[in-house]
C-alpha cells in the first residue's frame, strides 16, 4: 500500500496562549512505497512525531492537506483498519503474560473461528521462550517486539512506529530495525521516526525522509542522500555519518531553506539510480518529462530542477484495483488485505464479544493485582475502625447531635475521596493505552466502557460493605435490615458517583498533580453540601439548584435520613433536656423532612449518569482528536 501526502500541515494551539497557533508541520509533500522501510529523521523538535501522527491519522485535529493511498484519496475509516500505530511508549496491558496478551489481541482482532497464529508470530519475533512472562517484566526490546507482535496478529499492510528504537541499546536497536525491514520485505509499508541513527543502522532503511523546522529537507533513497548533499554544495565529509551530517546542517536556518527549496518541501524524490544517468541542466526551471511504459505497472515522472533529475514513481489512476509491482509480487498483498477488510464491518468481533473479552481481561488483571487489593482492603478496614472508634457507641446518645452529623458527613467524604483519587491519578495512563488499542481497531469504545464499569463493581461493593459493616456496628446505630441496606447502598452510590467524576477528569486531562485535583474537585460539592444545610430556604434559586445537585449533599442527606429515619425510636437522653433526642426534630431542623432516602439515592444515580456520560464523551473526544 503506497502512501502519499500533499501540502500536509499540522497546526497546534497552546491552551495557555489563546489564539496563538503554531504550524509544526509546514505544508510538506511525500510518498512512502510498499515493501519499503522508511525512516523519518530530523533534529529534536523538528516535527517527526507530529508528521507521523498526521500521516497515520493518530492525530486529526489541526491537520490539513491531502492524504492518498495508492494514488487515491484515502478513506480514513478504511485506512485505519489497514494500518497500525505503535507508540514510542510501550503501552502494554499490565499483569498479563505475553501469551495472554497475544491471545486477547487475536480474539479481538480476528473474526471468531479464525486460526490464531500467536505461536508462529511469537516464534518469529523471538518471544516464544518468554510467552509466560508478564508484560511488565519484559525488557525494553522485548516490549517493543511484543507491541509489534500484537499488531501483526491481523497482518495489517501499513505499520507506523514512533521512535521504535528509543531506550534500546545498540544491539537491540539493530535487531529491532532488522525486524522492521523484514516486515517491509514481506510487502508492508513500514514508516518510523528515528532520532539520529548511526551509519550502520541508516543503511538498513530503504528510504529516508528528513524534516527540520516542520519542513522537508530530504526525501529519497538512503543511498542518494550523500550525492544530494554534494549536489547542493553541502558535501558530507568522508568518514562522516550522513545522518549526523544532515542533522548538523539544520543548525543553520539558511541550510534548511536551501535544502527545503531543493527538494521542493518533499515534492521531489531522490533516487540513486537516476541521478548519475542524467546531465545537470543549467538555468532551467522545473521541467517535467513523462516517461511512460505501457506494459509497466508504474509510470515514472522525471523532474529536473536545473541541477539534478529525480525519478518520481506515479501510478496509473485508471484502474483502482491495479497493483504495484511489490504488491503483485506478494501473495499476501495489501490490496488483497484491503479487499477482504472492505467487505467486513468496522470491527472483527461483535460488541458483545468485545465486552466479554475485555471484561475477562480486566477481571484477570484485577485479581492479579494482589498488592493493590490488599492495600484497598487495609485502607477500608483501618478507616472503618478509626471512624468506628471516633464515634464508638455514640449513635444512641441524644446529647450528641453535632457528632451524629459529623459522622454522616465524614462517611460520605470517605467514600467520595477514596474513589475519586484513583481514577484521577491512574486513568490518564490507561487512556493512552486504550487510545492505541482503539485506534488500531481492536474494539469500540462502548463495550470497553461497559466492561470497565462492570469489572470494578465486585471489589468496590465488597470493600464498601466491609467498611459500612464495621462503622455501623461500632457506632451502635440500631440495627434494622432496611436501614443497613440503605446505609451500604448510599456508600456504594457515593463511591460510584465519585469514581465517575474522577474518570471524567482523568479521561480529559492528563493531570500531573492529580493529588491536588481530586480533593479540589470535591471541595465545591462539599461546600455546597454544608452551606445548603443551614440556609436552604434562604438561598437564591441558582444556588439552590447547585446545592441540590451536590452529590455530597445528597449523600449526607440520605445518610442522616438513614441513621435517624426508618421509624427510629427517640435517642437516650442523659441530661435534663435533649432537644434532638427525637429523630424527627433533627430531621425537621435540618430541613430535610420533605425528601426521602430513595429520592436522594435516585438523584445521586442521575448525577452518576451525568459524570459517566461526561467520561464517555471525554474519551470519544480524546480519541477523535
Ligand atoms: N499538542 C501540541 N501542543 C503544542 N506544541 C506541540 C504539540 N505537539 C507538538 N508540539 C510542538 O511541535 C514541535 C514538534 O514536536 P514533535 O514531537 O513532532 O517533534 P519531534 O521531532 O518528534 O521531537 P523529538 O525527536 O524530540 O521527539 C515541538 O516544538 C513541540 O513542542
C-beta 42 within 6 A of ligand 1: yes
Which residue has a Cα nearest atom 26 of ligand 1? 44
C-beta 50 within 6 A of ligand 1: yes
Burial of 532 (0-12, 13-18, 19+ CB in 10 A): buried
Which residue has a Cα nearest atom 12 of ligand 1? 24
C-beta 192 within 6 A of ligand 1: no
All 3 cell numbers of residue 508?
480529559
Rg (CA), the chain: 32
What distance in angstroms lies between residue 47's CA and the mean position of ligand 1's atoms?
5
Q: Note whether 218 and 208 are within 8 A (CB).
A: yes
Pocket test for ligand 1, best of 17, 50, 166 (most atoms within 8 A of CB): 50
Nearest by Cα to 57 from 453, 399, 479, 439? 439
Residue 193, pLDDT score: 94
What distance in angstroms lies between residue 12's CA and the mean position of ligand 1's atoms?
9
Measure the CA–CA gap between 66 and 321, rounded to whole angstroms: 20
Which residue has a Cα nearest atom 24 of ligand 1? 44
Q: Note whether 33 and 9 are within 8 A (CB).
A: no
Nearest by Cα to 343 from 81, 601, 24, 559? 81
Residue 612, pLDDT score: 92
Specify the domain boundaries for CATH 3.40.50.300 within the chain: 3-343
Which residue has a Cα nearest atom 23 of ligand 1? 45
C-beta 371 within 6 A of ligand 1: no
Measure the CA–CA gap between 354 and 447, rounded to whole angstroms: 6
C-beta 14 within 6 A of ligand 1: yes
- Supply angle C-alpha 543, 549, 550, rounded to 5: 90
Measure the CA–CA gap between 612 and 352, rounded to whole angstroms: 20
Mean pLDDT per 10-residue segment, the chain (625 residues): 92 70 92 93 92 92 91 86 89 93 92 78 87 92 89 89 85 87 90 89 93 94 90 88 91 92 90 51 40 43 45 41 36 43 65 95 95 94 94 90 89 89 82 90 93 94 96 94 96 94 82 58 62 57 73 91 92 85 88 90 94 91 81
Distance of CA 216 to the CA centre of its chain: 28
C-beta 43 within 6 A of ligand 1: no
Nearest by Cα to 219 from 63, 41, 51, 43? 41
Residue 340, pLDDT score: 43
Pocket test for ligand 1, best of 15, 46, 55, 191 (most atoms within 8 A of CB): 46
Residue 325, pLDDT score: 35
Measure the CA–CA gap between 272 and 207, rounded to whole angstroms: 11
Task: Provide the b/e sequence for 26-58 (b: ≥16 CB within 10 Å).
Answer: bbbbbbbbbbbbbbbbbbeebbbbbbbbbbbbb
Which residue has a Cα nearest atom 30 of ligand 1? 45
The model's pLDDT over 537-572, given as tens digits with 9 standing for 90+, comes to: 566 777 777 777 788 889 999 999 999 999 899 998
Give Cα separations from 553 to 304, 339, 413, 498, 621 (angstroms): 75, 57, 10, 13, 30
Residue 82, pLDDT score: 86
Burial of 529 (0-12, 13-18, 19+ CB in 10 A): buried
Distance of CA 190 to the CA centre of its chain: 22
Which residue has a Cα nearest atom 2 of ligand 1? 12
- Superfamily, domain 3-343: P-loop containing nucleotide triphosphate hydrolases (3.40.50.300)
Q: Which stretches does DSSP call E strand in 70-152? A: 72-73, 83-86
User: Is the whole-model pTM more than 0.95?
Assistant: no
Nearest by Cα to 412 from 575, 583, 530, 585? 530
Residue 490, pLDDT score: 96
Residue 576 C-beta-side C-alpha neighbours within 13 Å: 0
C-beta 99 within 6 A of ligand 1: no
Q: Note whether 189 and 159 are within 8 A (CB).
A: yes
Measure the CA–CA gap between 593 and 349, rounded to whole angstroms: 52
C-beta 59 within 6 A of ligand 1: no
Amino acid at each position: 500500500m503506497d502512501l502519499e501526502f500533499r501540502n500536509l500541515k499540522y497546526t497546534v494551539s497552546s491552551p495557555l496562549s489563546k489564539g496563538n497557533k503554531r504550524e509544526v508541520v509546514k505544508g510538506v509533500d511525500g510518498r512512502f512505497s510498499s515493501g519499503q522501510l522508511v525512516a523519518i529523521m530530523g533534529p529534536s523538535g523538528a516535527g517527526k512525531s507530529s508528521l507521523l501522527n498526521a500521516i497515520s491519522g493518530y492525530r486529526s485535529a489541526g491537520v490539513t492537506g491531502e492524504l492518498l493511498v495508492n494514488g487515491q484519496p484515502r478513506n480514513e475509516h478504511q485506512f485505519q483498519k489497514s494500518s497500525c500505530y505503535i507508540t514510542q511508549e510501550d503501552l502494554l496491558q499490565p499483569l498479563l503474560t505475553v501469551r495472554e496478551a497475544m491471545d486477547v489481541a487475536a480474539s479481538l482482532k480476528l473474526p471468531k473461528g479464525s486460526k490464531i497464529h500467536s505461536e508462529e508470530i511469537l516464534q518469529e519475533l523471538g518471544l516464544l521462550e518468554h510467552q509466560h512472562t508478564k508484560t511488565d517484566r519484559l525488557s525494553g526490546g522485548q516490549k517493543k517486539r511484543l507491541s509489534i507482535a500484537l499488531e501483526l496478529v491481523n497482518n495489517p499492510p501499513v505499520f507506523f512506529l514512533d521512535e521504535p528504537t528509543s531506550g534500546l541499546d545498540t544491539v537491540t536497536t539493530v535487531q529491532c530495525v532488522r525486524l522492521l525491514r523484514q516486515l517491509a520485505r514481506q510487502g508492508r509499508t513500514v514508516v518510523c521516526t528515528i532520532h539520529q541513527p548511526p551509519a550502520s543502522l541508516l543503511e538498513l532503511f530503504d528510504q529516508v525522509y528528513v524534516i527540520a523546522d516542520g519542513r522537508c529537507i530530504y526525501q529519497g533513497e538512503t543511498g542518494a542522500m550523500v550525492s544530494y548533499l554534494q549536489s547542493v554544495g553541502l558535501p558530507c565529509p568522508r568518514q562522516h555519518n550522513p545522518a549526523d551530517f544532515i542533522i548538523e546542517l539544520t543548525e543553520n536556518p539558511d541550510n534548511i531553506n536551501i535544502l527545503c527549496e531543493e527538494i521542493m518541501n518533499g515534492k521531489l524524490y531522490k533516487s540513486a539510480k537516476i541521478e548519475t544517468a542524467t546531465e545537470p541542466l543549467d538555468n532551467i526551471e522545473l521541467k517535467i518529462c513523462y516517461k511512460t511504459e505501457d506494459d509497466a505497472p508504474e509510470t515514472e515522472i522525471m523532474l529536473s530542477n536545473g541541477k539534478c533529475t529525480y525519478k518520481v514513481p506515479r501510478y496509473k489512476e485508471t484502474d483502482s484495483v491495479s497493483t504495484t509491482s511489490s504488491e503483485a509480487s506478494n501473495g499476501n498483498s495489501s490490496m488483497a488485505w484491503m479487499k477482504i477488510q472492505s467487505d467486513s464491518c468496522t470491527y472483527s468481533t461483535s460488541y458483545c464479544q468485545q465486552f466479554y473479552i475485555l471484561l475477562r481481561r480486566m477481571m484477570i488483571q484485577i485479581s492479579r493485582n494482589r498488592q493493590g487489593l490488599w492495600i484497598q482492603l487495609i485502607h477500608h478496614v483501618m478507616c472503618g475502625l478509626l471512624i468506628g472508634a471516633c464515634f464508638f457507641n455514640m449513635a444512641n446518645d441524644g446529647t450528641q447531635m453535632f457528632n451524629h452529623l459529623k459522622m454522616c458527613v465524614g462517611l460520605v467524604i470517605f467514600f467520595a475521596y477514596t474513589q475519586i483519587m484513583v481514577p484521577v491519578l491512574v486513568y490518564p495512563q490507561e487512556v493512552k493505552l486504550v487510545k492505541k488499542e482503539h485506534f488500531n481497531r481492536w474494539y469500540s469504545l462502548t463495550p470497553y466502557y461497559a466492561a470497565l464499569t462492570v469489572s470494578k463493581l465486585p471489589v468496590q461493593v465488597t470493600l464498601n460493605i466491609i467498611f459500612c459493616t464495621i462503622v455501623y456496628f461500632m457506632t451502635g446505630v440500631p440495627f434494622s435490615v432496611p436501614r443497613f441496606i440503605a446505609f451500604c447502598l448510599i456508600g456504594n452510590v457515593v463511591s460510584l458517583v465519585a469514581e465517575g467524576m474522577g474518570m471524567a477528569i482523568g479521561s480529559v486531562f492528563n493531570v500531573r498533580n492529580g493529588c491536588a485535583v481530586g480533593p479540589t474537585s470535591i471541595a465545591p460539592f462539599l461546600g455546597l453540601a454544608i452551606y445548603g444545610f443551614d440556609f436552604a430556604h434562604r438561598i437564591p434559586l441558582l444556588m439552590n439548584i447547585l446545592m441540590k445537585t451536590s452529590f455530597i449533599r445528597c449523600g449526607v442527606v440520605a445518610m442522616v435520613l438513614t441513621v435517624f429515619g426508618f421509624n427510629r425510636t427517640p435517642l437516650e437522653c442523659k441530661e435534663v433536656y435533649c432537644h434532638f433526642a427525637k429523630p424527627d426534630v433533627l430531621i425537621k431542623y435540618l430541613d430535610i423532612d420533605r425528601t426521602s432516602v430513595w429520592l436522594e439515592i435516585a438523584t445521586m444515580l442521575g448525577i452518576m449518569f451525568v459524570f459517566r456520560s461526561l467520561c464517555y464523551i471525554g474519551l470519544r473526544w480524546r480519541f477523535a482528536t
